[in-house]
Amino acid sequence: MKRSRNVKIVATLGPASSDYEMIRALHEAGADVFRLNMSHGAHEEIAERHAIIRQVEEDLNSTIGILADLQGPKLRVGTFANDEEELEEGASFRLDLDKTPGDATRVCLPHPEIFAALEEGTSLLVNDGKIRLKVTSFGKDFADCEVIVGGTISNRKGVNVPDVVLPLAALSEKDRKDLEFVCELGVDWLALSFVQRPEDVNEARDLAKGRAAILSKIEKPAAVKSFEDILAVSDGIMVARGDLGVELPVQNVPPIQKRLIRKSRAAAKPVIVATQMLESMIESPMPTRAEVSDVATAIYEGADAIMLSAESAAGAYPIEAVTTMNNVAVEVESDPNYQDIVSKSREAKKTTVNDAIVAAAREITETTDIKAICCYTQSGTTALLVARERPPVPILALSSQRRTARRLALTWGTKCVMTGDLDRFKMAVVNAAKAARALGYATEDDQIVVTAGVPFNTPGTTNILRVAPCDERLIYNTDPE
C-alpha cells in the first residue's frame, strides 16, 4: 500500500477496533503498525487480533508491523475503608505494608522494594501526580510523608517514584508470560515498560531470543539519564510522554523529546512519539489545534512514527483519528521547510563504509533526478541507515525475509517489498527497478539508486551503490554478470 508520507502511524487496538472490518479500515486509512496493549485483554483476544492483522496483510498484499506493549510492574496503593479520602496540604500521611484498609492518615503500599530505595526528601506521586508526598522518615516497612499537594486519594491509585532508581525488574511475572506468548504468536516488536537501566533491556532480549525486536519505552527520569546506554542495547525507542510528564516537570518533556529523537535517529534506530497526541478525539471527531501542532512538531523533529493510544483503541472515532494523523503528516511533509528542517538536524556520520554509502545515496538524490533509493536488505541494517539520512525520495527496502520487512514497517520513509533470495547484484538491481515501477514511484525512463551488501545475506555489509535505469533491458544490456 503506497503512502503519501514518510512518518509512520502506530494505532493501538482495543474494544473499539477489534474486528476485521475496523482493522482493515484503519490500515487503509493510514495505520502502518498495530499496537497490542498487554495491559488489557486476555491472551485469546490478543491472539484473535493478531490473526486478523495477518489476514488483512494477506488480503491487501501489504506489510504490517505488530508491536506488543508489555505492561511492566504496576505500583499502586491498597484500598481505603471508605474507598477514598481527602488529603490536606501540610498533613502527615503514612505508607506501610499493613494490608488493613486505609484512612486519612495511612494506607498500604504493598511494595517493600520502594521502602528499600527511599531517602529523606524523596518525592512520591499518587494518581498521575495529582497528589504529591515528600518522605520525612522511613524504615523497611513504612514511609512517613508530608502532603505537599493534596487531593482525593482512592483505592489502588498508581504511585510514581521519580527521584530514585527502584530495585525492580522491568519484567513482572505477568510480563514474562506475556512475552513468551506474543513471541510464539509472532509479533515483530516488543515494547518494554518501566525501563530504568540497560540491564532491563538485556533481560528482555535474552527472553525474546531473536523472535522480536526490542523497543524501550522512555518514561522514567532514570531512563533519560541512562538513555545512551539504553539506546545502545535497544532496537528502537518510544518517547512515552505520559509518565515522563508525571515524574518530571511538564516543561522538561518537549526538550527531552527532541533530544531523544535526535539521538535515536543518529543511531539509526526507529523512534516513536506517543501519548495524548490526539487525546480529544476519543470523544470528538475533530482534534484541537494544539493537538495538531503537537503531532506536527514530532514530524518536524524527524520521528519515525507517531502513535495513537485510546484514540484508536477505545475512542468513538478511531478511523477519523488515523485519517487526521495521516492528513497532518502529508501536509507537514509537503511544507517546503520540512526537508530543510530534517536535513539540518542530520548528524554527519561517515565513520564506516556503510555510513559513507548511504550518505552518498542521499546526496545523489539531492543533486540529480533520482526517483527512489532501493536497498536490498536481509537484516534491515541497510534500510535503517538509509532512513537515518531522511532522503527526499522514497526508500524501497527489498528483502526475502518477511520478519525484516514487518519490522521495517516502523521505520521512516521505508516501503518494504518482498523478493526472492539473490546471489548476484545485477538481479538486485533488476528487482529494484521492477518494484519501483510496479509501485508507481518511477517509470522506465527514470533512474533509481540501488544499495546492497555483497556478499549477500551478511548483516551490516552495505558496500555497493549503483545509479541504475528503471528499464531492466538496459540493465541486462549494460551490466556484466
**What are the catalytic residues?**
35, 76, 217, 275
240 pairs with which residues across the strands?
Answer: 274
What is the rounded CA–CA span in Å between residue 404 and residue 305? 17
Q: Which 3 state secondary structure label does DSSP give 431?
A: helix
- Please choose, from the candidates 279, 289, 276, the residue with its C-alpha nearest in 3D space to the C-alpha of residue 316: 279
| Helical (H) or strand (E) element with 28 | helix 20-29
The angle that helices 173-185 and 43-59 make with each other, rounded to 10 degrees, is 30
- The Cα–Cα gap between 412 and 329 comes to 12
Sign of CA dihedral 270, 274, 277, 280: positive
Q: Report residue 363 as a C-alpha cell.
A: 546526496
Distance CA 447, CA 152 (A): 65
Q: Tally Cβ neighbours within 10 Å of residue 151.
A: 14
Residue 212 and residue 220: Cα distance in Å, rounded?
23
**Cβ neighbours of residue 435 closer than 8 Å, sequence gap 6 or more:** 374, 396, 398, 417, 419
**Interatomic CA distance for residues 311 and 320, integer angstroms:** 9
- Closest CA relative to residue 122, chosen from 131, 133, 109: 133
Identify whether 455 is preceded by a cis peptide bond (ω within 30 of 0): yes
CA gap 265, 70 in Å, rounded: 24
- The DSSP result for 321-347, as a single string, is HHHHHHHHHHHHHTSHHHHHHHHHTPP
Q: What is the CA radius of gyration of the chain?
A: 24
Which cell goes with 470? 528503471
Beta-strand relationship, 370-376 and 395-399: parallel
